[in-house]
Structure 1
Amino acid sequence: MGDFFQAFVKKGKISTFAEYLVDIPAVLPPAVAGIALLMAFGREGIIGKFLSSIGIQISFTVIAVILTQIFISSTYYIKAAYSSFMSVDKTIWEESQLIGVNDFKLMTAIYIPITKRFLITGLISTWARAIGEFGATIIFAGNLEGKTRTMPLAIYTAMQSDLNYALSLSVIMVMCSFIIIYLCRFMIKKDVDRF
């Protein structure tokens, strides 16, 4: 972690390749992301073959749901964290180097406390994006009732047989969305009001 602040704070940028890696999940069509995860972690996938040989299956399990949601939504959190760290006054990093503060101490004692509201807001937004994931989840994790069925998959399934149930689930999702938006705005406003 020695070069963390030098790379992110002093220079103010990360390598182009790393930026592409971070952005890919956000721009991939969800179905393509699901197929990519299946080709990587499915029973016949690149990593999945090895995992299968030691008795571990990821595809069509709860782990697949979690992995899909992390893959799809992690971009949002990384970008929120990066932006919040970049908003901290650069002289803090420079002065800490003069007095010999190591990067870990600087991160835990200065950067995280200063940016924690934005980091939490980023986490809430990322979670909101994750729970709404549909396309990649149905391909990589499936739609197994009581096992891998998420709320969007439950709405999709209910639409085929019970419109009222689908509407009820949709209302719950809308209410969750309002709560998430309120929490994010409240935290950002509270942080801005301090200055």
Structure 2
Amino acid sequence: MLEDGLNGVPEGHTASVVTHLEMLEEAPQRPEADLALELERVERPGADWYLDLFRAVGSPWLWFGRLAMARAELEALLNDARVHVHVLRDKGRDAGLLELDFRVPGECELAYFGLVPGAVGGGAGRWLMNRAIGMAWEQGIGRFHVHTCTLDHPAALDFYCRSGFVPFRREVEIAPDPRLIGLLARDAAPQVPLIGG
């Protein structure tokens, strides 16, 4: 447990507050714009394609979880039939990532959810979330959960709450800065200062 007050962060690391949220019954669909988007499930996606999309969506927010995995571990996860990877397409271009993880019986984790920078702010997020909620609950689950952190898009936490998720736990995560260990470009997420290295 952290003590009250300021706690130091090691040089070369990032610190964020992680908020865990859950939905214990299916939330109603929110009104959405009439967008010409497509959502496709990619069964057994290739690791290179997946990591390219993961970086395109997540590098502005310092997503590093899948980048830090051993290649064999990532490939096993992507080949697991209980992990559903979907790509959002806008006019044929990859515009977003949706990953639903059903490996815990009776639950679904919204493991990754995001849009490429050019797709943010036009209603695609709400469109994608409506489909994520529907696909998760049609599997007969009793709990849908997600987490976000203070390094994510500033509107992410509010978006999840407006979508029907309820916060239930908070943690502090300290991790090596992915830009300093070669997982992301040094100019990724310029809103987060590089300290060290």
| TM-score, normalised with respect to structure 1 | 0.20
Bigger relative contact order (CA 8 A; separation at least 6) = 2
Larger strand proportion of the pair: 2
Structure with max Cα Rg = 1
